[in-house]
A and B are shown apart, each in its own frame.
Chain A
Amino acid sequence: MSGFTIAITNALEFITSKLEGITVKHVLVGFICLVKQFHHFTCKDLVMERVHWTSTQCIHTTNHLLAPFHQGIQAKNGGIGRRSILKGAAGVAALSSVPGVVFAQGAAKEAPDLAKLVAEGKLPPLAQRLPSSPLVVTPLEKTGVYGGSLRRGLRGSADHNGILRMVGNQGLVRWNLAFTQVEPGVAERWEVNANATEFTFHLRPGMKWSDGKPFTADDVVFAIEDCCKNSELYRSVPSVLVINGKPTTVTKVSDTVVKFTFDSPYAMFLENLATPLGQQPTLFPKHYCSQFVPKYNANVGDLAKAANMSDWPSLFRARCGDIEIPSRWGNVDKPTLDPWVVREAYTGGATRVVMERNPYFWQVDTNGAQLPYIDRLTFSISQDVESLMLDAVSGRLDIQDRHIDSLQNKPTLSQNMQRGGYRLLELIASGAQQCQIYFNITHKDPAMRAMFSNKEFRQALSLGIDRKEIIDLVYLGQSEPYQTGPRPGHPWYHEKLARQFTDHNVKQANEILDKLGYSRKDAQGFRLRPDGQKVFFAIDVIPTLYPDLVDTLELVRRHWVAIGVDMKVNTIERALYYTRGDNNDHDAAVWPGPGGLDPLLDPRDYLAQHPQGSRYAVPWTLWYVSNGKDGQEPPESQKRRMKLFDDARATADLAKRGVMVKEIMDLCADAFETVGVCLAVNNFGVVRNNLQNVPKGYPNSWSWPNPGPSMPQQYFFQS
């Protein structure tokens, strides 16, 4: 049975490696660094500059060693024979011209390969493929030329949203570039009734799915009424389509007019529709997906059995997907409305994903030329995030911010700009707070609860933090002391909420703690609680996700020693972090605080509204989401904010909504539930120099799923 023992040991090894979050690349790059040290290229200088010793930072000292081998495996991603590069012996120079292969063209209204198909009679002419009123996109800098293949990277597992962000932003409506306003998408216009209960969308006449079949109001009705509201398929209706516990009703007015009706006012509906979670109405083509629904196909059970699926909902999800599951990109047969459609699918065994232009795409540029400009997207799949970073710095990705946008990577990215032939892309933080500390106000232990739920105690801890030192050392001076709330410059910016208790005042902090009854101290100088226990708690943090937060907390720990408070930086694995939060087992936790640009879309720090997000009072969030059935009843201030939040979402008038938000922020500032360190820091991605029409920077957000709303369909390669 020795083999069995080996199997068990193997399994255990994986589990431990998972717990420690060490990836193969870490080991590997670390090893190369060691080897390099023997060759006098010491990485020590880095350590002495107090820059963190992460594997990524070693890359820039080691990548000239690895560079030839990157170019070697380039062929896999770049689509050119590698041998030809090496024979040319001009590695990088040859590579930089690859995606720029475009053909001179006059006033071509469609891509040359499509024009050829039309000439051969295999594709209808352009006029028949476009709707009568296509969406006219104004190119960011200039109109582009057709051609080229754009390279991006994906991680091997759970990275389907990397595709969604690039191509899947084709909902009824969409965000503008500035993330301030909703603009026409699939719907060319819409009307909203006075109390925001009826939304009438006008679709584009003659619009087609990517297989050439017409897209009409029937598809929208089918997607909502037959799919989203089918309790076998969705046990509960997706929350964007629900207000006050009641789902929407969708009716067809004519072939191109469709009406969403709600029982109560839902002013935020359009904003929600513009986010990724609002994509359902345009996700399911009726002529294709109805074959997997029992209402339209009585034999769907046989289909499921033939496909080795247990039931029809599994089959439906496998073929038609859902907003954010991998199978959305796993079926080459499913028609879509996206600029590029899947050619090589994202499945469990895939090593890359290839998407090609949709010949029926319904958007044109200002010259009337059909978008997208770029022929093809190639997503290479890396098993490890570190190798994506290697790809980026050696210029083998045309646009990439996902997975490589950590603060630690910034020096490496800027140092390799010349060599990699790319420019930096600024990701404007959409969050409010870089390091939000959530003390568990609803702690299970009464003594801890008494401590954390006391506003003055939290105030003392906040005053005890030397924010300037943290900003200088960890964030390279790129931030300012901050608590929470919409970012400076936002119309709803709230001075008190943002800046209260952010000065470093050890004396005042000590006075407050003495006054609160924590004046006795133990031999090491730590304060004692009235019950004789040391004032001690642990803050949960996930080192593999946010290494900067670990550094920040280490400094905070040192600052708090000065006020006699003992804290442990509890570095744990992410699934454990979530489990502890779900069970309300944590003393405190940190996470970047969202809601800086989109306060009403992600208000988890302003009121206890998100069970996985508002970690200062998870039981209150349960009370809120269950309408008072589960969890614990929150205090009046919270209940008032919950009411205001619901009202604000139902108020169409922006001025009135602003008044409500102001009251939420006032109450939040008075309650002072979370303690922040500094304003969320901007990150950076890379764009190859020959890729045009890409903004210099854009919001880094899920509600504005970058880069989607910057319209990658109008990016193009300059020859």
Chain B
Amino acid sequence: MLRFLVTRFLWMVPSLFVISFLAFVLIQLPPGDYVTTYIATLAASNEIVDQNQAADLRQRFGLDQPMIVQYWKWITGILLRGDFGLSFEWQQPVSELIWERMALTLVLTFSTLLATWAIALPVGIYSAVRKYSIGDYIATFFSFLGLAIPSFLLALVLMYLAAVEWGQEVGGLFSEKYQTAPWSWGKVVDLLWHLWIPVIILAVSGTASLIRVMRANMLDELNRAYVTTARAKGLSEFRLLMKYPVRLALNPFISTIAWLLPNLVSGSIIVAIVLSLPTAGPLLLQSLMAQDMYLAGAFILLICALTLIGSLISDILLAIVDPRIRLE
């Protein structure tokens, strides 16, 4: 196990390098650079950038240098000083900008994850065990509905209902009073009060698909000989289910952790924009649109690192949950 962990960690280093390079190239692919986009954006409002300053900007940000030089400066900054650079647009350190949004993003994503699993697992197991019962049909109906509704539309409908029917405040994660207040008990309650709409919206499609996956996996396992054997040996039905078929059916859930982590940052951008949530997604989109190289690069690097870590975690968990899987 230890050896496995060490090799995996060692492999991450070159992977991250390749990824960071690819990410950098990808961001540079669209025509123009930050300064072009900046000038174009201002020109859209008939505003002019001082001609002397435009050239300065490019030089100051090092955009006039070959890409490989820009990459080198960026990556050495990160490796040697832990400095992710300055966002071109905001003149603020990139790490500051990202962390500012990460805390709320984490809260939102983990609440969503918990909600998803808390609903999907029991319902999935139930609808497999009670196959073709009324309950199964109801669960199937709602899970297909959940899969079919685009989440941004659901967001709009829920915002409408919440605002008009229930008189709840929607949009954003805090009410006016707490928006800039320091953290307090009241603010936490306020956050929870606002959190449920985005959590439900984000959880719906995830829950729906997980229910289907769980049901299918369970159905595969339930007819296996070991289930019959266990039952013949007199194991109670609940203990039997939990100890054997559920454990095996969980495999796909654990594998998905690999992409749950990167979804922290890049998932649910549309919903976040519709609900104007101060999470990381809209900031990522905005930085890519503005070609704000260092901000976008740091985001993509973060997503990739999270993916690598996520797949490692899911591999380890798989080995723990399913004794048949050997890592060596």
Q: Which residues of A contact B (CB under 8 A)?
A: 1-4, 6-8, 10-12, 14-15, 18-19, 24, 28, 31-32, 66, 68-69, 71-73, 75-76, 79-83, 86-87, 156-158, 161, 234-240, 242, 276-277, 307-310, 313-314, 317-318, 323-327, 330, 344, 347-349, 351-352, 382-384, 402-403, 430-431, 542, 545, 573-579, 582, 592, 594, 602, 610-612, 625, 700-702
Contact = CB atoms under 8 A, between A and B. Distances in A.
Contact of A327 (B39, B46, B90): B90
A238 B278 contact: no
A217 B38 CA distance: 34
Contacts of B97: 347-349
Nearest to B82: A308
A24 B273 contact: yes
B164 A3 contact: no
Interface in B73-98: 83, 86-87, 89-93, 95-97
A179 to B, nearest CB: 14
Interface stretch (B126-134, B153-161, B183-191, B238-246): B153-161
A362 B295 CA distance: 40
A347 B96 CA distance: 11
6 contacts: A4-B304, A81-B175, A161-B47, A234-B56, A308-B96, A383-B285
Contacts of B153: 31
A700 B171 contact: no
B34 to A, nearest CB: 9
- Which of A10, A82, A239, A575 has the largest number of chain B CB atoms within 10 A? A575
B180 interface: yes
- Which of A31, A324, A594 has the largest number of chain B CB atoms within 10 A? A324
Interface stretch (B19-27, B212-220, B320-328): B19-27
A28 to B, nearest CB: 6
Contact of A72 (B42, B100, B164, B308): B164
Contacts of A545: 40, 44
A348 B92 contact: yes
B52 interface: yes
Contacts of B310: 3
Contacts of B33: 575
A157 B292 CA distance: 10
Contact of B156 (A3, A69, A234): A69
Given A14-B288, A157-B286, A402-B45, A28 B50 contact: no
B288 A15 contact: yes
Given A24-B274, A68-B163, A76-B171, A702 B22 contact: no
A575 B278 contact: no
A355 to B, nearest CB: 14
A330 B96 CA distance: 14
B42 A161 contact: yes
A157 B286 CA distance: 7
Interface of B: 19, 22-23, 26-27, 29-33, 36-56, 59-60, 83, 86-87, 89-93, 95-97, 100-101, 150, 152-153, 156, 159-160, 162-164, 167-172, 175-176, 179-180, 258-259, 261-262, 266, 270, 273-274, 276, 278, 282-283, 285-286, 288-291, 295, 300, 303-304, 306-308, 310-311
A78 to B, nearest CB: 9
A662 to B, nearest CB: 25
Contact of A7 (B48, B262, B274): B262
Given A157-B286, A344-B180, A702-B47, A3 B52 contact: no
A234 B47 CA distance: 20
Contacts of A31: 150, 153
Given A73-B171, A349-B283, A611 B92 contact: no
B59 A612 contact: no
A239 B90 contact: no
Given A235-B59, A308-B96, A701-B46, A68 B90 contact: no
A161 B171 contact: no
Contacts of A611: 51
A8 B26 contact: yes
Nearest to A610: B51
B300 A11 contact: yes
Contacts of B29: 15
A383 B276 contact: yes
Contacts of B288: 11, 14-15, 18
Instruction: Return the 10 tightest CB-CB contacts between A and B, nearest first.
Output: A72-B163, A3-B307, A575-B32, A73-B171, A574-B40, A348-B90, A236-B52, A348-B97, A576-B31, A349-B100
A325 B168 CA distance: 37
